[in-house]
Amino acid sequence: MFQVIGERINTSRKKIQAAVTNRDTDYIQNDVKNQQEAGADFIDVNAGARIGHEKEDMKWLLDTIGPIATVPLCLDSPDPAILEMAYGMVDKPPMINSISLEKERFDTMMPFLKGKECKIIALCMDDTGMPVSSDDIIARAQKLVAQLESIGMKQDAIYIDPLVQPISTDSTKGTMVLDAVRQIKNQYPKVHITGGLSNISYGLPERKIINRTFVTLMMDAGMDSAIIDPLDSKIMAAIRTADMLLGNDNFCMAYLKGVRSGIIKS
């Protein structure tokens, strides 16, 4: 089944930042509960927007979310020291967001990840910038998988992010990433594909329609996870329905549950 990483607990969002600044426990807990009820499989937690306050904000968020979290957390920070603290505070093996092939990030994250019980989002980014072709995405994914396996990570703990780019600047960006995802999944059936989807529609009107359509195409190519807002009921309905049509929902049970709960409706 498709895995949803709920993106809402991020201090770059104005309401979340205000709640964190004011230590508004009820607001944060209600948001997490709503994401879980909407079908989030992981809750991403990012406290990086308030410069100079990330450590204290992350600690407060984890203290606040921990007692009501029914799903694992996705610990989101570029700072291994923050991640080390956060890793010690969770009671379920978390997801870590993220590692890339950029030398500075790679060299600091690999020692942190070694020996950890966790899942890892691995970005197809290196020091030359964003990938420019499907072959580029695939080559970077191969390097990431090989390096992560070398420190003992299993393929089914690796979530490759192929880095979706705006189609408004280059009409081939959609087919580029779709082709790469198909080939990565053919080569590594146990590796997951994840990432943010909304970049595809950047600069275009009616972005939510584009995003909903694109996620179903990506799922057909092999994407089995995404970092999205689970309170967007229309994209959640598209995901659950596509999962059923792709044969990932035995006896259509998840689809029927979604209809009964009101998540899926026309």
The pLDDT tens digits for 52-76 are 999 999 999 999 999 999 999 999 9
Q: pLDDT of 96-139, one tens digit each?
A: 999 999 999 999 999 999 999 999 999 999 999 999 999 999 99
Please classify residue 14 by burial: count the beta carbons closer than 10 Å to its beta carbon, then call 0-12 exposed, 13-18 middle and 19+ buried.
exposed
Is the predicted pLDDT of residue 261 greater than 90, yes or no?
no
Domain, as residue range, for 68: 3-261
Which amino acid would we find at residue 134? S
- pLDDT, residue 256, reads 95
For the beta carbon of residue 67, count every other beta carbon within 10 angstroms. 9
| pLDDT mean over 133-161 | 98
- pLDDT, residue 9, reads 98
Is the predicted pLDDT of residue 28 greater than 90, yes or no?
yes
**pLDDT bucket at 266, cuts 50 / 70 / 90:** confident
d(CA 119, CA 212): 26
Order across the sheet with 158-161: list the strands. Answer: 192-193, 158-161, 119-123, 95-99, 73-76, 42-46, 3-10, 225-228
Is there a domain that residue 105 lies in?
Answer: yes
- pLDDT, residue 179, reads 98
Is the predicted pLDDT of residue 263 greater than 90, yes or no?
no
As given in the structure block, the two tokens for residue 149 are: 């396996």
| pLDDT mean over 12-39 | 97
Q: CA nearest 158: which of 70, 104, 215, 224?
A: 224
Is there a domain that residue 173 lies in?
Answer: yes
**pLDDT bucket at 262, cuts 50 / 70 / 90:** confident
What is this structure's pTM?
Answer: 0.97
Is there a domain that residue 266 lies in?
Answer: no
The CATH number of the domain holding residue 229 is: 3.20.20.20
**pLDDT bucket at 265, cuts 50 / 70 / 90:** confident
- pLDDT, residue 195, reads 97
Is there a domain that residue 66 lies in?
Answer: yes
Give the percent of the chain with pLDDT over 70: 100
Count of the separate structural domains present in the chain: 1
Is there a domain that residue 19 lies in?
Answer: yes
